[in-house]
Structure 1
């Protein structure tokens, strides 16, 4: 297959699924992973996609103003997070992962909510810093610049000592067999620590993440209490998830 044909295949797949995984592309095209990585590097250099650990995601033009965060499909994400607002209670200790859905959630948290919120996401911390009744604790560590979240042992050590009532965790991918999976290994480890530290685990994500997988496992479905999408909870796409025992909001 010519390089131009490979690039067209990759971009079509990215348009359909919002992300691509190096190993999956190598299998689909019957090529080495090194060849796929070179293709992704070239497409990244042309700003046609953004290469991340294990694959690539859609390219989003970054604002020169770091305080102005571009959010794809924000209206859809508002529909998701509005459902999850019903899970908030005064006095809760909350942990929030990074991600654009959780950022939209942070924007919509009622101003009268009194809670303690831990996060390792810089954009979410910036948003919550404007909240009048939230005790905000930003967890410092090595900054993963593309996602603007902190990672590493410093973050894991802090998270492991938290006794949280609830955590809101983003999802790169979710499936019945694989559970939650992540593009990056280091983020997957932090999310595992979040889950261990929390009494209740809620994952919010767009329905295009359903029945997909990434290279690094986060948790089985059995470790999730609630999943929240923009779909009606009775939608056929969610039937297997309901049958698994997880509550679908």
Structure 2
């Protein structure tokens, strides 16, 4: 399919559904997610749509606030969040990565939880700032504007000095052989530092991330303690992950 034809398809689908997902478009058109992102970026530059995290929305529905974040598969992410609540308890030192799954999770945290939480995600920090008993530490650094997370040496220096009980990590891609991978190199480096600073690592992701991979390796499955997805733990798709020794809830 020619580029112009892809662009017309994207604009038509957007007009019909008022939101498009990078992953779904890649499947529909039989091309890579990177190609779709380039198409969306080009259409965004032309003013044909508004590029958002994970896809795009019509330009007429542009967010009034940078914190009115479009969340795809929100019901699945709530299911993940409710499962992950069982891993929280008072007194923990917690690191939370960015991503909309963790953002949804942060909104479900019990109001009276007493914990210390580090995050480099600005939206998650804003959400957690409302909790009276959470000692919130926002890790400053260079802002990656599309994902609203901080990256760079300043973030790594802070993480190197933390000893957290648990890390809740949003996952872009996970594969039996490749483990966790990320599209961006700088984010992959930050996530590696999170893992090194945490006693337990919890991978949080919707099932569409299973058996996919990106360019930059974060870690292999041996570094993970628990996987939390929207699937039932007995789902056949998770069988190989179970065999690797990781716990699944």
Normalised to the residue count of structure 2, the TM-score between the two structures is 0.84
Which of 23, 27, 33 is the equivalent residue of 1:17? 23
Q: CA deviation at 1:65?
A: 1.5
Q: Which secondary structure state, in structure 2, belongs to the residue aligned with residue 95 of structure 1? A: strand
- Structure 1: runs of 5+ lacking an equivalent: none
Q: Indicate if the aligned counterparts of 1:117 and 1:135 stay in contact, CA closer than 8 A.
A: yes
Please state if 1:71 is matched with 2:60. no
Q: CA deviation at 1:89?
A: 1.3
Q: CA deviation at 1:151?
A: 0.6
What is the alpha-carbon distance in structure 2 between the residues aligned to residue 43 and residue 236 of structure 1? 39
From the superposition, tell whether residues 111 and 221 of structure 1 become closer, same or farther in structure 2 (CA, over 3 Å).
same
What is the alpha-carbon distance in structure 2 between the residues aligned to residue 196 and residue 9 of structure 1? 44
Q: CA deviation at 1:37?
A: 8.3
Please state if 1:164 is matched with 2:164. yes
Q: Indicate if the aligned counterparts of 2:168 and 2:201 stay in contact, CA closer than 8 A.
A: yes
Which of 56, 60, 63 is the equivalent residue of 1:59? 56
Alignment of 1:86-125 (within 5 A): 86-125=86-125
What is the alpha-carbon distance in structure 2 between the residues aligned to residue 2 and residue 68 of structure 1? 34
**Deviation readout 1:101-135 (Å, 9 max, x if unpaired):** 10111111111211000000000000000001100
Q: Which secondary structure state, in structure 1, belongs to the residue aligned with residue 200 of structure 2? A: strand
Q: Indicate if the aligned counterparts of 2:22 and 2:36 stay in contact, CA closer than 8 A.
A: no
Q: Which secondary structure state, in structure 2, belongs to the residue aligned with residue 232 of structure 1? A: coil
**Deviation readout 1:142-191 (Å, 9 max, x if unpaired):** 11111111110000110111000000001111000111111111111101
Q: Indicate if the aligned counterparts of 1:41 and 1:51 stay in contact, CA closer than 8 A.
A: no
Q: Indicate if the aligned counterparts of 1:170 and 1:205 stay in contact, CA closer than 8 A.
A: yes
**Deviation readout 1:72-121 (Å, 9 max, x if unpaired):** 22221111110010001111000000011101111111112110000000
Q: Indicate if the aligned counterparts of 2:201 and 2:223 stay in contact, CA closer than 8 A.
A: yes
Please state if 1:199 is matched with 2:212. no
**Number of residue equivalences:** 236
Q: Which secondary structure state, in structure 2, belongs to the residue aligned with residue 234 of structure 1? A: coil
From the superposition, tell whether residues 175 and 37 of structure 1 become closer, same or farther in structure 2 (CA, over 3 Å).
closer
Out of 174-183 and 62-71, give the one that drifted further: 62-71
Q: Indicate if the aligned counterparts of 2:25 and 2:36 stay in contact, CA closer than 8 A.
A: no
Normalised to the residue count of structure 1, the TM-score between the two structures is 0.84
What is the alpha-carbon distance in structure 2 between the residues aligned to residue 37 and residue 81 of structure 1? 27
Q: Which secondary structure state, in structure 1, belongs to the residue aligned with residue 104 of structure 2? A: helix
**Residue aligning to 1:82:** 82
Q: Which secondary structure state, in structure 1, belongs to the residue aligned with residue 116 of structure 2? A: strand
